[in-house]
Amino acid sequence: MFGMPMETGGFGYDTSMLQLAAYMFGALVGLIGGGIALGTITLPAFFLTLWNFELATDEARPVLRWGVIGTCSLVCSGCFALQPVLTTLPMPAALLGTLLKFLGYLLVAPTAAALLGASVPLLPMFPRRLLLMMFRGLRRSMLRSSLTYLALFVLTLVLCLIYAVLYMIGNATTEKEANFKAIVTHKTIIPSQMPPGYYEEFKRVCLEELPPEMRPANGDKDIMSWSFILGTTDKVNMRKDNMVFLFALEPNKVTTMMDGLDELTGQEKELLDRACEAMTKNDKAIVMSKSRLKALNKKVGENLKLSGVNYPNLVFDFTIIGELPDGKYEGVSFMNKDYLLRQIDAYERDRTANPKGEKHPMAEKSINLIWVRLPTKEAFEVLSQKVNDPAKFNKVPIKLETASSGIGTWLGAFKDIFWGIKFILVPAMIGIMSLVVANALSISVRERRTEMAVLKVLGFAPRHVLLIVLGEALLVGFLGGGMSALMAYGLLGNVKFQIMFFGAFFVPANALVYGPALGMAVSFAGCIGPALAAKNVKVAEVFARVA
């Protein structure tokens, strides 16, 4: 993949960066296309929201207003109530549940507008009239309002999903002051390879030599090792689709020590706990990611035979007992570490594959990473000194570093890409969308010069005209950004983009605040010029041209 030998491309230079650029460009184009399609589907909800706001400011139709409030509330709550029940049923009921979820999120904005409208009659008459003119003005020019809304919707959707990637990467590489994880690795070799005895010695140092207040809070449960295994179902014709990458680990520590899996709740946690318990009882049991199961055309309950690639002459017979939650450790599988050690020991006694009775080449290199959760930064510093003591670990040199530092090192190849996304792509997109909004509003102001002049003749002050134009733009920005953030958070939930073991990046809840704020900020930047132009419209000049 990326970073492949230069001769692979046949061009005399490393083509991997070009491939990565093409991949990311294609992903961005696909994301924008999907955003346009999703935004188009949400247009009826956008105009229904505007209509609900208009009803809220129109005191002449109170019965209709309360009818809309009740209908929207009942339908929206009904969709969310029925959706969990239907998704547990077989098709086509599950599909109907997904559609109800989509409809429920579509109706969130109109329902909120209808409920908010209940308090609008408390406002004085003149502000209500201004709001009514804004809502009617947006509904009157539907094409222009739709295009502006779509532009803001797509911008916010793309930036929400980009933010999800940067947010998770930032969290993973941010130092924590307490209750943080550290990693033990080989000091000079990548990938790290350490003797299995190092793991037992490291546990002894953590649990016996550290001062009591600096030891892992949960004892042995806060220490875990990983061994990397690459296997294939066809060792003669090895291809990407018949490869399986496994972590050999202690199953009883998966839900407490694995990032992302220690935060599971509900049914996902219950299923994974059961799978880990089964792996503990049967060391041939394996849990796989959904993408690997699909690539291998396997299902839970089937058997899987793998030949070791980095563990040559070892054959593993697995039973697939479960699958990892969607988006967690995508492309990876979990196996019991005891099975790996048992196979390594069996190799020494196997006179068919090993006539000389030698140890397996990986027997003293089978531990790749050791994880530990420590209570304080001081505990990390004390443990680091003990790890560097050659009297304890004298076979191969090792080092202790914080998990955030280790992950940051692995992500070093993506550092420039993340920098470009954050400081070039995102500002460029915001600037382009600001120009789009400014252009649309400039056209709107030019077409409505007569309307602005009439308003001034009727007694509206220039500041009132400014408020109407600004209010229309900010309202479209708020609804476009809010609907987009709501769809990204509630409906999509995550963006699937494989970076190392990050298979999916989940949209954080604070995107629901940043989305509307971004939409309003872009709208303000684009509309302030046209709004000032509308404020300064000369009544005499406008009517002279009309005459």
pLDDT digit string, tens, across residues 354-399 = 888 888 889 889 999 999 998 888 888 899 888 887 778 888 888 8
- The string of pLDDT tens digits covering residues 182-230 is 899 888 887 889 999 899 999 999 999 889 888 888 888 899 999 999 9
Task: Output the DSSP codes for 498-536.
Answer: EETTEEEEEPPTTHHHHHHHHHHHHHHHHHHHHHHHHHT
H helices within 174-265, ranges in order? Answer: 196-204, 254-257
The CA distances from residue 280 to 86, 159, 301, 302, in Å, are 34, 43, 17, 18
* All residues at 6 or more sequence positions from 1 whose CB lies less than 8 Å from its CB, including other chains: 16
Measured CA to CA, the distance from residue 487 to residue 106 in angstroms comes to 8
* All residues at 6 or more sequence positions from 291 whose CB lies less than 8 Å from its CB, including other chains: 330, 331, 503
Q: State the chain's maximal CA–CA distance in angstroms.
A: 107
Length of the chain: 547
Please report the pLDDT score of residue 499 as a whole number.
Answer: 63
Q: Which amino acid is at 544?
A: A
Measured CA to CA, the distance from residue 506 to residue 374 in angstroms comes to 26
Please report the pLDDT score of residue 161 as a whole number.
Answer: 83
Q: Which residue ranges in the chain fall short of pLDDT 50? A: 1-14
Question: In this structure, which long-range contacts are made by residues 3-8, counting pairs with CB atoms below 8 Å and at least 24 apart in sequence?
Answer: 3/413
Instruction: Kindly state the DSSP code that residue 421 receives in the 8-state scheme.
Output: I
Measured CA to CA, the distance from residue 445 to residue 447 in angstroms comes to 5
Please report the pLDDT score of residue 504 as a whole number.
Answer: 67
- Tokens 């500041």 locate to 463
